[in-house]
Amino acid sequence: MSRYLTTSAITLRTQSRGENDRVYTLYTGRTGLVEAVADGSQKVCSKLAGHLEPFGEVMVTLVRRGAGYKLSGAIARQRFRRINDSGEAMAAAGACLQFTRRMMITGHPEAETYALLRDALAQLNTPASKFAVSAAPTVYALKLLAQMGFQPQLDRCGRCRAAIHDGSFDVVAGSLRCPRCQKKNTGQYIAVDAVAVAYLRMALALPLAGVLHVAVAGPTLAVARELVARFAEYHTEVARAAAGPAVVLS
Ligand SMILES: [Zn+2]
């Protein structure tokens, strides 16, 4: 394998290290999540920084160094500048980046997830509506979870298999429950009405842009948001193992 890797990337986080170094957490199209160090003693460091600002797509050249990477080049490919014009869009885009970082194991593939994240930023750059901005982190997170193999089952009761359209969502089982199949007195259920179930089914079925063109009432989005956040928190070891606050989608 070559020491060099050139790939498209989206910056998820930037941190300072030591006196001059910067550590970039990147989601790359070719190899998923990577951390790359930009050496502060390099003259190019400050030049690279401008290309690696959040809410943009960048071509990076990485050089293997030990278990990690050193950043040797970066050229901005596309900036989603309009995200910065709105506090709500910035917060929503930030939530998508943060969720990606928390859910992804280093090296998790790859192209499909990269395309979804890029699409989320593009949608937030020119949002269909105010609602689209507020819904984007939840819809993005739901689709990312499905890509990772955590797809909630929303067409039938996960226990008796009866076809149902509402009831409760069992966070532990990742599926709907009809009233007869619920255990009593556990905190693992979220009540979901038929509108919320239909919205979540649609969010899984349609492309991101299509989902964000459909507005639902605030309480329906709130149920979807809670369901996705708790599902993510329960079903990913990464989220549980990570020190720090719980998954936040808004
Ligand atoms: Zn049942």
pLDDT in tens, 123-154: 999 999 999 999 999 999 999 999 988 899 99
- Compute the distance from residue 249 Cα to the ligand 1 centre, in Å: 30
- Compute the distance from residue 187 Cα to the ligand 1 centre, in Å: 18
- Compute the distance from residue 143 Cα to the ligand 1 centre, in Å: 26
Percent of the chain with pLDDT over 90: 68
Same domain, 54 and 122: no
Q: Which domain-ending residue is among 79, 110, 141?
A: 79
Same domain, 50 and 124: no
Structure tokens at 57: 């797509």
What b/e sequence results for 157-193 when a residue is b if at least 16 CB atoms lie within 10 Å of its CB, and e otherwise? bbbeeeebebbbbbbebbbbbbeebbeeeeeebbebe
Q: How many domains, the chain?
A: 2
Report if pTM > 0.85: yes
Please report whether residue 247 resides in a domain.
no
- Compute the distance from residue 239 Cα to the ligand 1 centre, in Å: 29
Per the CB < 8 A criterion, the answer to whether 157 and 176 are in contact is: yes
- Compute the distance from residue 61 Cα to the ligand 1 centre, in Å: 52
Q: Which domain-ending residue is among 79, 102, 137?
A: 79
- Compute the distance from residue 156 Cα to the ligand 1 centre, in Å: 8
Beta-carbon count within 10 A of 99 CB: 26
Q: Which domain-ending residue is among 79, 95, 128?
A: 79
Same domain, 43 and 86: no
Please report whether residue 250 resides in a domain.
no
- Compute the distance from residue 180 Cα to the ligand 1 centre, in Å: 6
pLDDT in tens, 196-230: 999 999 999 999 999 999 999 999 999 999 999 99
Please report whether residue 249 resides in a domain.
no
Please report whether residue 219 resides in a domain.
yes
Structural domain boundaries enclosing 55: 4-79
Query: What mean pLDDT is predicted for residues 20-25?
Result: 90
Beta-carbon count within 10 A of 3 CB: 10
Per the CB < 8 A criterion, the answer to whether 53 and 11 are in contact is: yes
Q: How confident is the model at residue 184 (pLDDT cuts 50, 70, 90)?
A: confident
